[in-house]
């Protein structure tokens, strides 16, 4: 799955760069959507994000491309590799790369198999 975000003034820190937490929220949301499309009968909660490392700073007006690809699925969890790029410079290295893992839960918050 692929989605895009425009970096607006309210997304910036006091130095004029994108807040890291804002990018993490966008990444989590994009992957949650991908998981929910892949497993429409499941309710997902985030259980982990590997290696949070911001490789390049991002300024206002940047169009970010967020790519989510399913990496592996277990009995109750699924992981997605995420890459974030500057949409206007796709030949440049990724701004951010991580893996996000979700677990399927029932209404009481207990783990539930992906297939049920």
Sorted by sequence, the CB contacts under 8 Å of residue 42 that are 6+ apart come out as 35, 36, 104, 112, 114
Q: Which two tokens stand for residue 73?
A: 């699925």
Range from 9-18, 83-92, 103-112 carrying the lowest mean pLDDT: 83-92
pLDDT for 1-53, tens place per residue? 999 999 999 999 999 999 999 999 999 999 999 999 999 999 999 999 999 99
User: Average pLDDT of 73-91?
Assistant: 95
Superfamily in which the 2-105 domain is placed by CATH: Hotdog Thioesterase (3.10.129.10)
H-helix or E-strand spanning residue 38: helix 20-38
Strand pairing partners for 110?
A: none
Tell me the sheet residues that pair with 81.
69, 99
pLDDT of residue 32: 98
Q: Which residue is listed with tokens 């997304």?
A: 11
Mean pLDDT (the chain) is 96
> Which residues are paired to 43 by β-bridges?
105
């Amino acid at each position: 799955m692929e989605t895009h975000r425009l970096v607006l003034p309210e997304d910036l820190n006091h130095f004029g760069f994108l807040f890291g937490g804002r990018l993490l929220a966008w990444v989590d949301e994009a992957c949650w959507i991908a998981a929910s499309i892949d497993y429409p009968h499941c309710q997902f909660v985030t259980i982990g994000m590997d290696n949070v490392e911001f490789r390049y700073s991002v300024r206002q007006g940047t169009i970010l491309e967020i790519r989510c690809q399913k990496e592996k699925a277990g009995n109750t969890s699924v992981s997605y590799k995420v890459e974030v790029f500057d949409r206007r410079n796709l030949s440049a290295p990724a701004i951010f790369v991580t893996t996000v893992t979700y677990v399927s839960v029932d209404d009481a918050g207990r783990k539930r198999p992906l297939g049920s």
